[in-house]
Chain A
Amino acid sequence: MSKSVLVIGARSDIGRATAHAFASQGYMVQLAARKAETLADDARDLEIRHRVDVTLHELDALDLSSHEAFVEGLPVLPDVAICAVGAMGDQKLSETSWQDMASVLRSNFEGPASLFAVLANRMVARGSGTLIGISSVAGVRGRATNYVYGSAKAGFSAYLSGLRNRLARDKTGVHVVTVLPGFVDTQMTRGMDLPARLTAQPVEVGKAIVEAVRKGRNVVYVRPIWQGIMLVIRHIPEFLFKKLSL
């Protein structure tokens, strides 16, 4: 039987590209998002291009109480699950509106963490599986320009790291991959003036993820240059860092 992949946040550009990357390797695809029925054209596209079966699944990542039922309702517990849920929000708005801040924290951290908790437990029971969390380089160090989003991603990165530790230590057969894509040319970043050399296309992210699963990688930067940049950013002393505009 062919392997299967669950894409949570299947409408996002990274979610779509990752679905294609796995489908091209023969994986059956489960697409999950709000208003899943509107992804019917994407499902047809995946089926025609890659000749794999695709199913659509309604999911509200913020409705934590629904997550057990959502996973229960999947036709099969997937071999690989990717969470590409997230929202950049508006930093300025998040500084003054608790509703906005809470929504950024919840969609980037709480929702994904809850989904992975449910999936991890079931994969452990089965004894195999891979969980892939799309986190962000913004979570490496909080910056004035996007620290609400960044802190949620930092929380998610720490969660993934801890989950990976637990599942590896207990020899569960389940692996966790943290993806730090850097800048990606997506709907979320459209209109931002991003340097081309640092900006990956969604297709690159999808390929990097398939490769990471194949090689059993732990933390993945899509473009290697980001690893260097983050090394520098991590090591700037705080008394300097706090005065910088990055």
Chain B
Amino acid sequence: MILSGWGRYPRADCMVHRPRDTHDLSASLARAEGSVIARGNGRAYGDSALNRACTIDMRGFDRILAFDPRAGQVVAEAGVLLADIIRVFLPRGWFPAVTPGTKFVTVGGAIASDVHGKNHHKEGSFGAFLDWLDVLCPDGVVRRASARQESELFAWTVGGMGLTGVIVRAAFRLRPVESGWMRQLTLPAPSLSKAMELFEQAGDATYSVAWIDCLASGSAEGRSLVMLGEHAELDNLRGKERQDRWAERSRRERSVPIDFPALLLNRWSVSAFNRLYYANGRRRAGETLVDYDSYFYPLDAVLEWNRIYGRKGFAQFQCVLPLEASEKGLGALLTEIRRSGQGSFLAVLKRMGAQQSRFSFPMEGYTLALDFPFRSSTPKLFAELERIAVDHGGRFYLAKDSQLTPELLRQSDPRTQPFTAMREAGGAAARFQSLQSERLAL
């Protein structure tokens, strides 16, 4: 079966197994002669969840097993989508404590990538709300791991890209909310330094993120719309919002019906879009009430939006730079992107908070994420951007990556060596591999 990540690059012909319970799963693992990798809903952009010999589709593990309304703790199998969690628990007053920009990720995928959201600066990544998980280890045994028991396994599995074993089920906490609505405050920032200043002042905001115009030049370089958000309380709701407290009225899902010709995306169309988008944001600056779906998942409403990049797919670049080097590093990245004439309208800037973890992506500083339609010049551009990020002490998000080299990964992240040593020692290196782990010699 031809599979790819969300970026539709690269593609590979993979043998797929779809177990429905631990019995099937153990059988799949026992039958596989070489290595295997678990796959969730295919939202990692690159080659993280591809293994030609055996890719284990975990979407058959789709059961919610327990809910403790005092602690807000859910126990769910690895293939349950965050969308399911929201559908079931939002009307009861609960929302995921951490959510990435799509609700179509599985619980297992969220843990393996240790995903972050717009609240990372304040509350950390998905792993910060994880109480325990069950992992099928290289020896075929399912172990329960938490901060107290099997703590090494726990620490490496969170953010471990599925390379420590197969995550089977997990217990994690939700946050209590009073409604499905968000109070959003949009602040235009005419330059990069102004955007960063706004982020630094907004440390108390629960959510913060910025859309950044990666093609604007001169004094407008790095102009952004900084968007802050809070869960609306019942008292904030009036009229139709109050009647629809959990924002359940169904929004029509649209789908991109065809692959767009890649020519549609060029420096002129993107820069025209960006100009309009910024002007529009500036006009609408101020506080608005929006439903959680539009706030957290604007792109989920357009199913298969990845097809706008054409048949060759796209690659996403996401790095994080340490705080002290952020302004200089971001400036250098933006200059290089503008010089390349590539770049897209989906460019996101976000302040991240401090995080201590074994192999997860986030660190205190600024993260920049943007998409590039895949062209022959893309690898070269990525190499340039990666070089700039490494020179400024940055590192890369493996859930987005399809381009990195083993050398650059090791230069950017000294945690790589202990990670591979752990894999060798525990037998995971031989048993769990993805095209990404092979490419990066993990």
What is the interface of chain A, defined by CB distance below 8 A to chain B? 38, 41-42, 44-45, 48-49, 187, 190
Contacts and interface: CB of A to CB of B under 8 A. Distances in A.
Contacts of A45: 62-65
A41 B77 CA distance: 10
A177 B84 CA distance: 30
Contact of B20 (A44, A49, A187): A187
Interface in B230-273: none
A193 B20 CA distance: 20
Interface string B330-354: 0000000000000000000000000
Contact of B88 (A41, A48, A187): A48
A49 B64 contact: yes
A203 to B, nearest CB: 11
A48 B67 contact: yes
B173 to A, nearest CB: 16
A19 B278 CA distance: 48
A15 B328 CA distance: 58
The residue among A45, A49, A187 with the most chain B CB atoms within 10 A of its own CB is: A45
A48 B64 contact: yes
B422 to A, nearest CB: 31
A64 to B, nearest CB: 28
A180 B412 CA distance: 57
Contacts of B66: 44, 48
A45 B67 CA distance: 10
25 contacts: A38-B21, A41-B21, A41-B63, A41-B65, A41-B77, A42-B63, A44-B63, A44-B64, A44-B65, A44-B66, A45-B62, A45-B63, A45-B64, A45-B65, A48-B64, A48-B65, A48-B66, A48-B67, A48-B88, A49-B64, A49-B84, A49-B88, A187-B18, A187-B20, A190-B18
Interface in B42-75: 62-67
Given A41-B65, A48-B65, A190-B18, 14 more contacts: A38-B21, A41-B21, A41-B63, A41-B77, A42-B63, A44-B63, A44-B64, A44-B65, A44-B66, A45-B62, A45-B64, A45-B65, A49-B88, A187-B20
B361 to A, nearest CB: 31
Nearest to A193: B1
Chain A facing B: main interface SS = helix
A46 to B, nearest CB: 9
A70 B415 CA distance: 59
Q: Give 9 nearest A-B pairs by CB, closest first.
A: A45-B63, A48-B64, A41-B63, A49-B88, A45-B64, A48-B67, A44-B65, A49-B64, A41-B65
Nearest to A38: B21
A38 B63 CA distance: 13
Contacts of B88: 48-49
Which of the four size classes fits the interface of chain B? 10 to 19
Judged by DSSP, the binding face of B is: mixed
Contacts of A48: 64-67, 88
Nearest to B80: A45
A38 B18 CA distance: 18
B229 to A, nearest CB: 28
Contacts of A44: 63-66
Nearest to B87: A49
Contacts of B77: 41
A27 B385 CA distance: 56
B293 to A, nearest CB: 19
Contacts of A38: 21
B403 to A, nearest CB: 30
Contacts of B21: 38, 41
A187 B66 CA distance: 26
A152 to B, nearest CB: 25
A187 B59 CA distance: 12
A49 B91 CA distance: 11
A187 B57 CA distance: 13
Nearest to B23: A38
Nearest to A11: B20
Nearest to B24: A187
Contacts of A49: 64, 84, 88
Nearest to B65: A44
A44 B66 CA distance: 7
A169 to B, nearest CB: 41
A38 B21 CA distance: 10
A121 to B, nearest CB: 35
B227 to A, nearest CB: 32
Nearest to A45: B63
Interface in B77-100: 77, 84, 88
B24 to A, nearest CB: 10
A74 B141 CA distance: 37
A2 to B, nearest CB: 19
A13 to B, nearest CB: 9
A187 B63 CA distance: 17
Contacts of B18: 187, 190
Interface in B4-20: 18, 20
A75 B62 CA distance: 28
B427 to A, nearest CB: 28
Nearest to B169: A41
Contacts of B65: 41, 44-45, 48
Nearest to B20: A187
B169 to A, nearest CB: 9
Contacts of A42: 63
A187 B84 CA distance: 22
Contacts of A41: 21, 63, 65, 77
Contacts of B84: 49
A49 B63 CA distance: 9
A45 B88 CA distance: 11
Nearest to B84: A49
Nearest to A50: B88
